[in-house]
Amino acid sequence: MTTGSATTVMPPTSGTSRGSKGSGASSVQGGWRLGDAVLGLACRGSAALLALMLIALIGVLLHSAWPAIKQFGPGFLVSSEWRANEIERPLRDAAGAVVIRDGEVVTETLAPAFGALPVIWGTAVSSLIALVVAVPISLGAAIFLVRVAPKLRIAGAASFLIEFLAAVPSLAFGVWALFVLAPFFQEHIGPWLLRTFGEVHALRWMFYEKVTVAGRTIERPIALTGRDLLSGSLILAIMILPIITSVSRDVLRTVPRAQIEGTLALGATWWQSCMAMLRYGRSGLLGAIMLGLARAAGETMAVTMVIGNNNQISPSPFAPAQTMASVLANEFGEATEGLHRAALLYIALILLAMSLVFNVIARRLVVGRAARSPGS
């Protein structure tokens, strides 16, 4: 009812109306205004720019990684070689002895070669350990935030603290891990573990590694330095706690009261009703975990600082390792040679694809559930 009067009292400001001789609502709805047009275009442009940036990113990555893709193909994913420069080494015969011909050691030259298996292994194992550590804690914290904190009137403060944890720069976590966590592990936990479990035969794989030295395979103890796969995983766990907790909290909040009361009225204990809550929100919680996994896989700085950065596949959590992100951070600066650079960007491309898949699945699970729940 205000449209008619609004147009009559509105002064004809310059450049805002054109060809609107008619009166009433039509002049407002059908009118063409410069400001609207410009801002409308700007909004469309911004949206298009974002899409273009993603496409450009993928395009540039593909282009830069192309030499490596061409040379190694999908075999890159399963190869564990990583030689940035060609190396010369003594040739050995079948028995492992150095071949000597004419009084001189015969050498062989190995061309640079790259394979992503160790970093994929490192990423997968560190992310999994991080999830194993972080998921129970996160779910516990989420249950606390939904079921306990409101009664204690600290829900707001507790939520703030957990979200604040997400805002801590990853470098800060890295520095803490490097100067506190790793030395503590090295001086206290490591020796204790070694004393307690070092001689248990079933756990030998954790403390000893098999290496080939001068053609012979020997078993030697792993130095428990605190800068290893486990430390990297633990720091990852701390870093993915906030996101899993806050998404889980939002998922658990949507569990209808009637569900919780339904279980309690049947004589469920507090814990049993919490389990029922988790069951009700299971797909959303899975999405929260996937989001955490995506973050763990892509996390860079803190992990690089404590994971030890060794390009190897070792079953032991106490062995130094590398993740996709950490190898990029570590080696990109010195990757002058074309193929090395291309191989690193190949890894970046794999990482991008993985994160994309995790995020899409997670969004499906979280948003899909939220869209379905009101109707059910």
List residues near other proteins by CB under 8 A.
Answer: 150-151, 256, 258-269, 272, 276, 279-280, 376
Q: Which of 93/261 has CB closer to other proteins? A: 261
CB of 253 closer than 8 Å to CB of 259 = no
Residue of 84, 85, 370 lying closest to 254 (CA atoms) = 370
Report residue 207: phi and psi, to 5°.
Answer: -110, -10
Least Å from the CB of residue 208 to other proteins: 43
| CA 208/CA 220 separation, integer angstroms | 5
Least Å from the CB of residue 268 to other proteins: 5
Q: Which of 59/262 has CB closer to other proteins? A: 262
Least Å from the CB of residue 277 to other proteins: 11
Q: Which of 76/280 has CB closer to other proteins? A: 280
In sign, the C-alpha dihedral spanning 118, 120, 122, 128 is: negative
CB of 332 closer than 8 Å to CB of 324 = no
| Residues 6+ positions from 299 with CB-CB distance below 8 Å | 170, 236, 239, 240, 325
Least Å from the CB of residue 287 to other proteins: 16
CB of 326 closer than 8 Å to CB of 297 = no
CB of 174 closer than 8 Å to CB of 301 = yes
Least Å from the CB of residue 276 to other proteins: 6
Q: Which of 140/262 has CB closer to other proteins? A: 262
Q: Which of 213/258 has CB closer to other proteins? A: 258
Q: CA dihedral defined by 89, 91, 96, 100, rounded to 10 degrees?
A: -120
Q: Which of 220/282 has CB closer to other proteins? A: 282
Compute CA distances 86 → 80, 83, 111, 112, 113, whole Å: 16, 7, 5, 5, 8
| CA 71/CA 340 separation, integer angstroms | 12
Least Å from the CB of residue 364 to other proteins: 18
| CA 128/CA 123 separation, integer angstroms | 8
CB of 218 closer than 8 Å to CB of 299 = no
